[in-house]
Structure 1
Amino acid sequence: MNKLFKYIALSIFITAGCAELTQIVQTIEGDRPLTQTEVANGLREALKIGTDSAASGLSRMNGYYGDELVKILLPPEAAVITDNLNRIPGGEKLLEDVILRINRSAEHAAKEATPIFVNAVTKMTIQDAFTVLRDGDNAATQYLRNHTYNELFKLYQPKIESSLNQNLVTGISTNDSWQNLTGQWNRLAGSLAGQIAGFNTVEIELDEYLTHQALDGLFLKLAEEEAKIRTNPAARVTALLERVFGSSEAQR
């Protein structure tokens, strides 16, 4: 009986020793639990990389204009114009000119988006980071949108407005083109023929509309970048990203 007890005790010691050894090996290999700092830094790093990539892509020539997912069209209030372009001399060409210039303005403004996002990312708390990591999908993008949209709008709108007022081609700005288009339409709508036809004038702040659309496109591209980092190991371009998101992926 004493021998049996000794055998059991020895087995327990060996088993415990193996478990301890395994834990040491795992720690050496990087399987230790993530620290709060690593999670927070990993999320911040992912957002900085994602926002920089999204903004850089949209700031290129045709970044907005050449991408049907984010291409900015005229406001819905302008449908009455687009539906009746044949009533305006050269209306179709004028319309396309305005759309092109609007998207060029957004591409110009996107060049200034990265530092705005970086400033917002640095404000993410450790608890926020853990929540975002746990929620998955596009949680980081939604967090950034929900917590910074108003601030980004206030910072982004002046850049959009400045871009709208810049002379892009032949000394005409985007605002000039928009006012020309809406001015011609509103004159028609205000005429007797327009009143009989029931046409309404178009009154909209183009810079506000464009800012909303530009930010929507930016967040859409950011969501795509976040998805890459969460689902594609090749997109985790730093050791910290691989550790944070690889660990999160393994826990699902």
Structure 2
Amino acid sequence: MKKIFLITFSLAFLGGIAQIKIKSLVNTSTKVLTGESKLSNEEVVKGLKEALSVGTDKSASLASKLDGFNKNPRLFIPWPEEAKEMKARLLKMGFEKKIEEFETSLNRAAEEAALKAASVFVDAITGMSVQDGFAILNGADTSATHYLRKTTYTPLENNFLPIVKAAIEKVNVTSYWNPLVTAYNKLPLVKKQNPDLDKYVTNKAINGLMVLIADEEIKIRKDPAARVSDILKKVFGGKG
């Protein structure tokens, strides 16, 4: 008799659980079909792209100002690491002012290039394919910027390089570099120096802009006033 009672009770219990699960699934499906669900992945991705686009515009504007790179310790482009021995020897020879002028010219080139950075970044952003927008939305405060860096860095570098080359020519970086490298290469037993300044400034400029874009992403996530469009308000409205 006890066995029969236990079997009956178990079947009733399991049946109750099944009904609860079915009810839950029906409710979830109804929410999706009736539009009660807050956000779709498509809306989240649109919001993330918008956040990065807004961040890029503001970052390019900040970086392209006079001393946007040169006086910002987080963005400042220093003497190329691969030529640090050259710098040390030149400092001993009294070239401190010339070295400072050269470093300033590198940063001026990055500032000049930043004037046209926004369009290059926007092209990369609009081409992003985000598989799971919710994972990025609910991730770290700079998850979208990290995704941009991880997935678009190479095409960004390729597209930004010609802009940097033009900027380097405009601010005459080589006129500051050539006297230094000429003086150094005259020293006995030194390894001739010829770093790729175009690529060096391109990489440093992109990294600097990414720092600023990350700052703007944090603002959008945390500050309602930074959500300047309807999609940003909708996507990030519950995160402020």
Q: Does 1:38 align with 2:43?
A: yes
The residue aligned with 1:7 is none
Give the drift of 1:60.
Answer: 0.8
- Of 46, 52, 60, the residue aligned with 2:57 is 52
Specify the code of the residue in structure 2 equivalent to 1:70.
L
Structure 2 CA distance for aligned equivalents of residues 229 and 116 of structure 1: 21
Structure 2 CA distance for aligned equivalents of residues 75 and 183 of structure 1: 16
Give the drift of 1:246.
Answer: 2.2
Alpha carbons of 1:125 and 1:77: their partners in 2 closer, same or farther (altered >3 Å)?
A: closer
Structure 1 CA distance for aligned equivalents of residues 89 and 130 of structure 2: 54
The residue aligned with 1:240 is 231
Give the drift of 1:31.
Answer: 7.9
Alpha carbons of 1:31 and 1:70: their partners in 2 closer, same or farther (altered >3 Å)?
A: farther
Structure 1 CA distance for aligned equivalents of residues 83 and 130 of structure 2: 45
Specify the code of the residue in structure 2 equivalent to 1:174.
V
The residue aligned with 1:9 is none
Contact 2:90 / 2:184 at 8 angstroms: preserved in 1? no
Q: What do residues 48-72 of structure 1 show as CA deviations (whole Å, max 9, x unaligned)?
A: 1001111111011111001011000
Specify the code of the residue in structure 1 equivalent to 2:178.
Q
Q: Does 1:222 align with 2:226?
A: no
Q: Does 1:98 align with 2:102?
A: yes
Q: What do residues 208-232 of structure 1 show as CA deviations (whole Å, max 9, x unaligned)?
A: 1111111111111111111111122
Alpha carbons of 1:87 and 1:134: their partners in 2 closer, same or farther (altered >3 Å)?
A: closer
Specify the code of the residue in structure 2 equivalent to 1:112.
K
Give the drift of 1:165.
Answer: 1.6
TM-score (norm 2): 0.79
Structure 2 CA distance for aligned equivalents of residues 96 and 153 of structure 1: 26
Give the drift of 1:78.
Answer: 2.3
The residue aligned with 1:155 is 159
Specify the code of the residue in structure 2 equivalent to 1:118.
V
Structure 2 CA distance for aligned equivalents of residues 211 and 86 of structure 1: 26
1:1-252 map, 5 Å: 32-88=37-93, 91-125=95-129, 127-166=131-170, 168=171, 173-188=172-187, 191=188, 195=189, 199-247=190-238, 249=239
Specify the code of the residue in structure 2 equivalent to 1:50.
G
Give the drift of 1:75.
Answer: 0.7
Alpha carbons of 1:31 and 1:226: their partners in 2 closer, same or farther (altered >3 Å)?
A: farther
Structure 2 CA distance for aligned equivalents of residues 58 and 187 of structure 1: 37
User: Gaps spanning 5+ residues in structure 1: where?
Assistant: 1-26
Structure 1 CA distance for aligned equivalents of residues 64 and 58 of structure 2: 10
Contact 1:80 / 1:200 at 8 angstroms: preserved in 2? no
Specify the code of the residue in structure 2 equivalent to 1:219.
M
Q: What do residues 177-232 of structure 1 show as CA deviations (whole Å, max 9, x unaligned)?
A: 112211211212xx2xxx3xxx4332311111111111111111111111111122
Structure 1 CA distance for aligned equivalents of residues 130 and 199 of structure 2: 34
The residue aligned with 2:4 is none
Specify the code of the residue in structure 2 equivalent to 1:142.
H
What CA RMSD, in Å, does the superposition of the two structures yield over aligned residues?
A: 2.5
